[in-house]
Amino acid sequence: MTNISPALSDTDMALSRQVEDLLVARNLRGMKDVQPALLPGYYARASRLIDQARGTVLIGTGFPVLDTFETDGPVGAIALYNVIKHLGAKPVLVCGAPLSQALAEDYEVFEIAVDALANRQSEAAAALQTLQPELIISIERPGLSEQGGYFNMRGEDISPRCASFDEFLSQASCPTIAIGDGGNEIGMGNIKQAIEQLDITPAATTCDELLIADVSNWAAHGVIALLSHWHQQDLFALTDPLSVLKYISARGSVDGVTRENTLTEDSLPSTAGDQLVEQLKAVIQLN
């Protein structure tokens, strides 16, 4: 952790608080309950770090479900990828197979090994040396528990199907941002005591700025809203979540809750995310 915290104006803080409350309003998996454990302004601070980046930005994503990957995570990661590229930085999606293979034809991808817990430190060290990131973002990636394994929302040990991204954040010499919606994702170690109340095996990995949301993909919307406000342009126009859902669905994604190949995010229809975007646009007064 680098402990880099951009200073916020009163306006930025007020907007961030509104975004933060919107993102956990449904309280699907207890994120509203743990929100008080976070220092307010976390969305604006993270968004400032993204806005300031001009070098390589690593975006780790991909949560394994059965033998494939879930829709939550990649959709938000691709949205951030498009916006970060537009703003002048160099995004790279970091993920394991089969997601890495599904995305490699259309995006800059760095593949990390699956079922390689024993080699995670050396893999991350070599990758960081090669990639030299200016910022690292994790969105809906499994986080190592204190026991040393990866567990899904059902409490199942999914370690053999996981690639390990934790050490990228732990070893980083640049700022790190992590996004999660349930307590078992990278970054949740920041609020260790708060997530102990949740019915999951919590993750222990920490980060500089933790963003929580009812659906991790939606956290990307919150970031894009603030960036749109600062740049006075509709950056939502750079990504179409439904099109991305269709894109990854054609490549084998499943809903993380239902485990079915549907155009949904954590069992919610894409229209739920669309409604949230409209609410965020209203907050930042984007017409």
Q: What is the DSSP string of 54-89?
A: -SEEEEEE--EETTEEBSTTHHHHHHHHHHHHHTT-
pLDDT of residue 66: 92
For residues 88-110, average pLDDT: 98
Beta-carbon contacts of residue 122 (< 8 Å; ≥ 6 apart)? none
pLDDT digit string, tens, across residues 169-213: 999 999 999 999 999 999 999 999 999 999 999 999 999 999 999
Task: Name the residue type at position 127.
Answer: A
pLDDT in tens, 208-238: 999 999 999 999 999 999 999 999 999 999 9
Query: Is there a contact between 63 and 33 (Cβ–Cβ < 8 Å)?
Result: no
Q: How many CA atoms lie within 13 A of 19 on its CB side?
A: 33
- Give residue 286's pLDDT: 83
Give the global pTM.
0.97
| Mean predicted confidence (pLDDT) in 230-250 | 97
Looking at the chain, the whole-number percentage of residues with pLDDT higher than 90 is: 95
| pLDDT (0 to 100) of residue 116 | 84
- pLDDT at site 1: 61
Tell me how many degrees the CA angle 260-262-263 measures, rounded to the nearest 5. Answer: 150
For range 14-36, the mean pLDDT: 98
| Band of residue 7 on the pLDDT scale cut at 50, 70, 90 | confident
Instruction: Compute φ and ψ for 67, nearest 5 degrees.
Output: -105, 20
Report residue 99 as tokens. Answer: 């997601």
Eight-class DSSP state of 274: H
Cβ atoms of 40 and 20 within 8 Å: the answer is yes
**DSSP, res 262:** S
Q: Any idea where the domains of the chain sit in the sequence?
A: 27-283
Q: Is the pLDDT of residue 61 over 80?
A: yes
Residue 104 is encoded by which pair of tokens?
A: 């490699």
Q: CB of 279 within 8 A of CB of 20?
A: no
The mean per-residue pLDDT over the stretch 31-38 comes to 98
Summarize the confidence of residues 255-273 as an average pLDDT: 96
What distance in Å separates the CA atoms of residue 240 and residue 243, rounded to the nearest whole number? 5
| Confidence check: pLDDT of 93 > 80 | yes
Query: For residue 167, is pLDDT > 80?
Result: yes
- Do β-strands 209-212 and 56-61 pair in parallel, antiparallel, or remain unpaired? unpaired
Largest CA distance in the chain: 50
Q: Give residue 183's identity as a one-letter amino acid code.
A: G
Q: How far is CA 124 from CA 44, 55, 108, 163, 174, in A?
A: 28, 18, 18, 11, 14
Give the model's pLDDT for residue 158.
Answer: 95
pLDDT at 2: 61
Q: Which tens digit of pLDDT belongs to each residue from 109-158?
A: 999 999 888 899 999 999 999 999 999 999 999 999 998 999 999 999 99
- Alpha carbon distance, N-terminus to C-terminus of the chain: 37
What b/e readout covers 195-223, taking b as 16+ CB neighbours within 10 angstroms?
beebebbbbbbbbbbbbbbbbbbbbbbbb
Rounded Cα gap, residues 187 and 206, in angstroms: 4
pLDDT greater than 90 at residue 287: no
The whole-number pLDDT of residue 136 equals 98
pLDDT at 6: 74
Parallel/antiparallel/unpaired status of strands 209-212 and 176-180: parallel
- Give the mean model confidence (pLDDT) for residues 274-278: 97
Q: What is the pLDDT of residue 122?
A: 96
Q: What are phi and psi for residue 32, nearest 5 degrees?
A: -65, -35
> At residue 47, does pLDDT exceed 80?
yes
Domain 27-283 annotated CATH 3.90.1640.20: yes
Mean pLDDT along residues 6-23: 94
**Crossing angle of helices 216-231 and 42-52, rounded to 10°:** 70
**Residue 3: is its pLDDT beyond 60?**
no
Number of neighbouring beta carbons within 10 Å of residue 173: 8
